[in-house]
Amino acid sequence: MNKHKIAVFASGVGSNFEAIADACASGIIPAELSLLVCDRPEAPAVKKAEIRGIKVFAFSPKDYASKAEFEAEIVKLMDSLEVELVCLAGYMRIVGDTLLQSYHGRIINIHPSLLPAFKGARAVERAVEYGVKVYGITVHYVDSDLDGGKIIAQRAFSYEGADPEEVHSIGQLIEHELYVEVIKTLLSGKHLSEDA
């Protein structure tokens, strides 16, 4: 039986990428991580992929005339690799129509808040500033509404301090576990689409 093929999009550290790659390598996720897409060629995530021998498409958006142009290239590459599921993990770009139309219902994202609270950037910092006592992580489908797609899974945790770094560290441990669990579940189902 052919293995599922997945892609991860990241812009930074790539700890979620790493967790997903390790879970694929050990068979916890029954898939091959076929591609890392990164919009910052110097990002640590790129090194993490290279060390593991995972194909990388690293690009600088400024080298393209438009988002549609670089997304078309990504779609072409993912089609050729037969990618079934796209996992955004710290990809700091709004996904455009070209990608959304080609991979509708097959793009998911992980966000460090209990959505719909604290959509967008600096979610943890804003939650700390707000003084929330319960934080969380959300995995959701990606659509044209920023951090507004259908929720797949959430995990909450209590924290009474005021240190965003600490919240990040607690949250990231949860992210790695939750994202692997969700990807595994989605791939084991008959349908990947949010419409299913």
Residue ranges that bind ligand GRF, judged by CB under 6 A: 10, 12-17, 89-90, 110-112, 172, 175
| CB of 137 or CB of 186, closer to ligand GRF | 137
Amino acid at 146: L
- Number of C-beta neighbours around residue 78 at 10 A: 23
| CB of 72 or CB of 143, closer to ligand GRF | 143
Amino acid at 154: Q
CA distance 131 to 150: 26
Closest contact distance (angstroms) between CB of 180 and ligand GRF is: 12
Considering Cα of 40, then 144, then 97, then 35, what sign does the dihedral take? positive
**111 assigned to active site:** yes
| CB of 76 or CB of 116, closer to ligand GRF | 116
**Token code pair at residue 139:** 């995995």
Task: Provide the strand spans (E) within 83-173.
Answer: 85-88, 107-111, 134-141, 151-158
- Name the active-site residue from 4, 104, 111, 176: 111
CA distance 8 to 72: 16
In this structure, what are the phi and psi dihedrals at residue 38, rounded to the nearest 5 degrees? -140, 130
Closest contact distance (angstroms) between CB of 12 and ligand GRF is: 4
- Rounded to 10 deg, the angle between the 15-25 and 44-51 helix axes is 10
| CB of 43 or CB of 192, closer to ligand GRF | 43
Output the residue with the shortest Cβ distance to ligand GRF.
90
- Rounded to 10 deg, the angle between the 164-188 and 15-25 helix axes is 30
Active-site residues: which are they?
Answer: 111
